[in-house]
Amino acid sequence: MVKPEKFIPKAVEKISKEIKDGRAIIALSGGVDSSVCAELAHRAIGGRLQPIYIDTGLMRKGETERIKHIFSHMNLDIVYAKDRFLAALKGITDPEEKRKAIGETFIRVFEEEARKLEADYLIQGTIYPDRIESEGGIKSHHNVGGLPSVMDFKKIVEPIEDLYKDEVREVAWALKLPDEICERMPFPGPGLAVRILGEVTEEKLEVAREANSIVEEELLDRFCPWQTFAAVIGKGTGVKGDIRAYGWIIAVRAVGSRDGMTAEALELPWDVLKKLESRITSEIPKVARVVYDITPKPPATIEFE
Amino acid sequence: MKELKILVVNNYGQFCHLIHRAVRDLDMDTKIIPNTTPIEDILAEEPDGLILSGGPEMDRAGLCFDYVREIDLPILGICLGHQAIALAYGGHVHSGKKGGYAEVEVEVLEEDDILRGLGPKATVWASHADEVAILPEGFIHLARSDICEIEAMRHPTKPIYGVQWHPEVSHTEKGEELLTNFLEICEKY
């Protein structure tokens, strides 16, 4: 296991040495990996670090405001790019194509900001499993070989490339980052887009965002899942107020895991499942039914896409 | 146990880095290497043992067949690594009637050194469509399940072992014990 008290000063020193008197940028997502990198780099080079947060419009409810507040001491550059991401996703239904469209749009937006800022160095939150998975072709991580391939930097600095996720969390605690960062549930890079089966539309996004918020409120503190969320998986017939309604089907997912590599569905009490169904169908009028996914990983992945 | 050097051969399985992590957390010196690494480069590292990771397809198993036939070291094959050992020594691999996914109850037929402390039954996690259908000649059948008849095996004379399940994942019961058993085999060899 990593020893944060040794790791932190070493990492700060390494960043200082690599960047010297240059300027660096980092794509900050609010996840634990990029947050730890941003904090380490801020300690190393202070105001010569420019964190960029891109609001893709695919974020969870209140996410942008939360990040703005947490990183207010860092001169955070927030880019609102929802329209560009939705335009890039228009008509796309294939999961890999969606990821690709989001990744490419992210790179374009990031590139434009980076050019304005004239940074020499890119700091990335790549962790050890990202490297192994990308090398093996298991999963394309947009922070492994994504941004660097289209941009010219003197160097790409990866302060946590030898750490595992739980070790990054240990470092986050030691850096005294807020609990909501240290304990933050994994949230996919492509955001809510991978919790919407088929084409991503404004309507589906709104439904997914609200449903996710309800699921987190009901399950996070009480059951401490590794990950819990809601996905919009299609449409089905319902009946609301004596009228047949063709509405969205929401799948709820709540899993236990140590590292996200294998996972089991949580055995939620019946009254909890009923409350979830009741809240989702009453608070989101366009939802016709709610199902609970009990499939472990493998054979399923944790996310739907 | 003294610190041993264990090389993890990357067959591009999604759990490969978990093998590295599990062995590292047992205070061993460990490193992931591509499955195209020449044998002389492996031997130059002076390892105490090799672990062949799982992977998506046998076509991408690189030099694994050569490793298990030519390297005189303890070797543990996991999932596809287990199947590669079987093929290298003349066994047969085919698609199983059912895939083995998530929780599987394994019956230990013979503990041997590798499965010591795991019997008579263990709950493990698996992720495979293919399986060893026929053991290589002389190999010892160590474990079975209702999903897959040949869940574990060993070479008759060499310290070469194969398990179809994934001892490196956190949901596998006594996965750490199996890896510790392998490290003890490496230490004694």
pLDDT digits 0-9 by tens, A240-256: 788 878 899 999 999 99
Q: In this structure, what token pair is assigned to residue A109?
A: 């937006």
A261 contacts on B by Cβ (under 8 Å): 14-15, 18, 169-170
- At which of A119, A152, A183 does a domain end? A183
B25 contacts on A by Cβ (under 8 Å): 1
- For residues A26 and A147, membership in a common domain is answered with yes
* Length of chain B (residues): 189
Q: How many domains does chain B divide into?
A: 1
When the pLDDT of each residue in chain B is averaged and rounded to a whole number, the result is: 93
Residue A259: strand, helix, or coil? coil
What is the DSSP pairing of strand B160-163 with strand B75-78? Answer: parallel
- For residues A178 and A207, membership in a common domain is answered with no
- For residues A23 and A171, membership in a common domain is answered with yes
A296 contacts on B by Cβ (under 8 Å): 101-103
d(CA A149, CA A285): 44
Give rounded-to-5 percent helix, strand, coil for chain A.
45, 20, 35
Give the CATH number for residue A24. Answer: 3.40.50.620
Q: Do B102 and A257 touch (CB under 8 A)?
A: no
Shortest Cα distance, chain B CAs vs residue A128, angstroms = 8
Check B64, B131, B166, B186 and give the catalytic one. Answer: B166
CB of B87 closer than 8 Å to CB of B112: no
In chain B, residues 116-175 whose CB comes closer than 8 Å to chain A: 125-127, 166, 169-171
Residue A98: strand, helix, or coil? helix
B176 is catalytic: no
- For residues A67 and A175, membership in a common domain is answered with yes
% of chain A surpassing 90 pLDDT: 55
Residue A33 lies in a domain: yes
Among A231, A276, A261, CA closest to A95: A231
When the pLDDT of each residue in chain A is averaged and rounded to a whole number, the result is: 88
Residue A189 lies in a domain: no
- For residues A157 and A281, membership in a common domain is answered with no
Which of A135, A261, A264 faces B14 most closely, judged by CB atoms? A261
d(CA B63, CA A223): 46
- For residues A148 and A243, membership in a common domain is answered with no
pLDDT digits 0-9 by tens, B6-40: 999 999 898 998 999 899 899 999 989 999 999 98
- For residues A92 and A152, membership in a common domain is answered with yes
Confidence of residue A68 (pLDDT cuts 50, 70, 90): confident
Beta strands in chain A (DSSP E): 24-27, 49-55, 77-80, 121-123, 155-157, 227-240, 243-256, 264-265, 287-292
Positions in chain B whose pLDDT score sits under 70:
none
Beta-carbon contacts of A65 under 8 Å, excluding residues fewer than 6 positions away, are none
Domain assignment of residue B23, given as a range = 5-188
- For residues A156 and A210, membership in a common domain is answered with no
pLDDT digits 0-9 by tens, A167-220: 998 899 899 899 888 987 889 989 999 999 999 998 999 899 999 999 999 998
- For residues A24 and A158, membership in a common domain is answered with yes
Q: Give which of A132, A294, A295 to mutate to test B binding, by max B Cβ within 10 Å.
A: A132
Among A66, A68, A26, CA closest to A50: A26
Q: Give which of B12, B14, B147 to mutate to test A binding, by max A Cβ within 10 Å.
A: B14
Of A34-38, A210-214, A292-296, B55-59, where does mean pLDDT reach its minimum?
B55-59
**Beta partners for A251?**
A231, A291
Confidence of residue A148 (pLDDT cuts 50, 70, 90): very low
Q: How many domains does chain A divide into?
A: 2
Overall average pLDDT of the A70-88 stretch: 91
pLDDT higher than threshold 90 for residue A22: yes
d(CA A281, CA A37): 40
Residue A163: CB atoms within 10 Å: 23
d(CA A297, CA A131): 21
Residue A103: CB atoms within 10 Å: 18
CB of A23 closer than 8 Å to CB of A119: yes
Tell me which residues of chain A have a C-beta less than 8 Å from any C-beta of chain B.
1, 128-129, 132-133, 135-139, 164, 257-259, 261-262, 264, 296-299
Residue A196 lies in a domain: no
Residue A298 lies in a domain: no
């063709």: which residue's tokens? A246
d(CA A150, CA B17): 28
B166 is catalytic: yes
Locate the chain B residue with the closest alpha carbon to A167.
Answer: B21
Q: In this structure, what token pair is assigned to residue A116?
A: 């304005």
Residue A297 lies in a domain: no
Give the CATH number for residue B84. Answer: 3.40.50.880
Residue B5: in which H helix or E strand, if any?
A: strand B5-10
CB of A28 closer than 8 Å to CB of A38: yes
CB of B163 closer than 8 Å to CB of B143: yes
- For residues A61 and A126, membership in a common domain is answered with yes
Interhelix angle for A32-45 vs A4-19, to 10°? 60
pLDDT digits 0-9 by tens, A115-142: 788 888 989 898 888 766 666 665 554 4
d(CA A138, CA A134): 6
- At which of A138, A153, A183 does a domain end? A183
Residue A253 lies in a domain: yes
Q: Do B170 and A257 touch (CB under 8 A)?
A: yes
- Which segments of A are annotated as binding site for ATP? 29-35
Overall average pLDDT of the A62-77 stretch: 86
pLDDT of residue A142: 44
Which of the 8 DSSP states describes residue A224? -
pLDDT of residue A133: 64
Residue A302 lies in a domain: no
Domain assignment of residue A103, given as a range = 4-183
Residue A84 lies in a domain: yes
Angle in degrees, CA B96, B101, B102, rounded to 5: 155
CB of A156 closer than 8 Å to CB of A62: no
- For residues A59 and A174, membership in a common domain is answered with yes
Among A261, A160, A300, A299, CA closest to B19: A261
Residue A216: in which H helix or E strand, if any?
A: helix A202-223
CB of A60 closer than 8 Å to CB of A187: yes
Check B64, B79, B148, B186 and give the catalytic one. Answer: B79
pLDDT of residue A183: 80
Q: Do B13 and A136 touch (CB under 8 A)?
A: yes
- For residues A270 and A178, membership in a common domain is answered with no
B79 is catalytic: yes
A129 contacts on B by Cβ (under 8 Å): 17
Backbone angles phi, psi at A32, to 5 degrees: -65, -35
Among A195, A199, A198, CA closest to A213: A195
Locate the chain A residue with the closest alpha carbon to B60.
Answer: A136
